[in-house]
């Protein structure tokens, strides 16, 4: 593109007033772009703060419905459930993961009871239930793939039975999307969607989240053998192609802002519904800086969320969802 020379071209003309800026704005953010991650814990009529994530709470199941109702009233269309599991509830066989009575599954039912039109997303991985803190079974120090996939299928079917609308396999095992999709079809859950954590990197930005779900002390070793190397981009495209071919409806990139180049490649090369997770480390850094007076909380929050839309995201999982929705709603 060749523009006429200055002063015929004055690019600042279209920035001169709020009205002009609004008219030519290329991307627009709304509460409908958000999925709100929520943490659920055992107990009754209680909530407690997550120390490393200022403003984020763990809630008991009986309080999760009200939180979902408030989010829905703000225009947020979906919540994603993550369970806080104590060490005494974790086992080698991870059997609690597919129990209808675990707190995540009870939370699905409670949200669908309280707000039937709220879309409920889940997490499919063994780490909240694994004594080793890993997303898959550990055998002789190795995180095994195929046995783990069998367990993930059982998790998926139970969550679908409890009323989940969106399943979020976050484990990064090979072949799990195809296995879950086939099981859902066979069980009559044709309408249940899969938002696959396709490009999930072995990132240091997940630390506060592991505190939030009680996994920090459980994890032995690292997750480098199944989560992606942060140095790789082409590999992510191969994973996207695979997951789409196996039945994923939507694609997730995780973490978010440090990987916006991956978001752009996914959207450009595949054109599928593309999401990113603004993960706990991103959130915690901005909150800490704002609390110290180093950044303007609301401006940085909204700018960061707009960056996801500009990069190509159809939506974003963000802990900022309620606060951002309130600002957008005026």
pLDDT in tens for each of the 330 residues of the chain?
A: 899 999 999 999 999 999 999 999 999 999 999 999 999 999 999 999 999 999 999 999 999 999 999 999 999 999 999 999 988 899 999 999 999 999 999 999 999 999 999 999 999 999 999 998 899 999 999 999 999 999 999 999 999 999 999 999 999 999 999 999 999 999 999 999 999 999 999 999 998 887 777 766 667 788 999 999 999 999 999 999 999 999 999 999 999 999 999 999 999 999 999 999 999 999 999 999 999 999 999 999 999 999 999 999 999 999 999 999 999 999
pTM over 0.85: yes
Residue 292: predicted pLDDT: 97
Question: Which of 267, 244, 112 has its CA nearest to residue 253?
Answer: 267
Residue 208: predicted pLDDT: 84
Q: Which tokens hold the place of 9?
A: 């071209």
CA 191 to chain centre: 20
Name the region of 9 (left: φ>0; alpha: ψ -120 to 50; beta: rest).
beta
Name the region of 293 (left: φ>0; alpha: ψ -120 to 50; beta: rest).
left
CB–CB of 320/301 below 8 Å?
yes
Q: How far apart are CA 57 and CA 283, in angstroms?
A: 14
First-to-final CA distance of the chain: 38
* Catalytic residue list contains 254: yes
Q: Which tokens hold the place of 111?
A: 């949200």
CB–CB of 136/143 below 8 Å?
yes
Please, what are the domains in the chain?
Answer: 29-328 (3.20.20.70)
Residue 219: predicted pLDDT: 75
* Catalytic residue list contains 200: yes
Residue 215: predicted pLDDT: 67
Q: Which of 112, 223, 254, 267 is catalytic?
A: 254
**DSSP β-ladder status, 142-143 and 138-139:** antiparallel
Residue 217: predicted pLDDT: 63
Q: Which of 112, 200, 223, 267 is catalytic?
A: 200
Which residues have C-beta within 8 Å of that of residue 88, sequence separation ≥ 6? none
């Amino acid at each position: 593109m060749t523009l006429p020379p200055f002063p015929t071209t004055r690019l600042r003309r279209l920035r001169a007033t709020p009205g002009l800026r609004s008219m030519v704005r290329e991307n627009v953010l709304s509460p409908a772009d958000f999925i709100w991650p929520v943490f659920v814990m055992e107990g009754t009529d209680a909530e407690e703060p997550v120390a490393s994530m200022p403003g984020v709470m763990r809630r008991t199941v009986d309080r999760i419905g009200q939180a979902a109702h408030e989010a829905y009233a703000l225009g947020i269309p979906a919540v994603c459930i993550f369970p806080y599991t104590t060490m005494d509830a974790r086992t080698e066989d991870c059997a609690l993961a597919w129990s209808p009575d675990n707190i995540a599954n009870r939370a699905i039912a409670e949200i669908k009871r309280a707000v039937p039109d709220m879309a409920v997303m889940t997490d499919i991985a063994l780490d909240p239930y694994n004594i080793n803190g890993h997303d898959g079974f550990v055998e002789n120090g190795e995180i095994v793939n195929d046995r783990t996939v069998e367990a993930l299928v059982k998790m998926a079917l139970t969550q679908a039975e409890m009323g989940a609308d969106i399943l979020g396999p976050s484990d990064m095992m090979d072949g799990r999307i195809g296995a879950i999709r086939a099981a859902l079809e066979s069980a009559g859950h044709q309408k249940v969607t899969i938002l696959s954590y396709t490009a999930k990197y072995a990132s240091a930005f997940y630390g506060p989240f592991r505190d939030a779900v009680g996994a920090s002390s459980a994890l032995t070793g690292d997750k480098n053998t199944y989560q992606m190397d942060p140095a790789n981009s082409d590999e992510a495209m191969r994973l996207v192609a695979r997951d789409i071919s196996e039945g994923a409806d939507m694609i997730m990139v995780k973490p978010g802002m440090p990987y916006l180049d991956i978001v752009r490649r996914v959207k450009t090369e595949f054109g599928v519904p593309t999401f990113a997770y603004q993960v706990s480390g991103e959130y915690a850094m901005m909150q800490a800086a704002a609390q110290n007076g180093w950044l303007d909380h609301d401006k940085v929050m909204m700018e960061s969320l707009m960056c996801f839309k500009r990069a190509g995201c159809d939506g974003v999982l963000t802990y900022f969802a309620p606060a951002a929705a309130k600002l957008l709603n005026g």
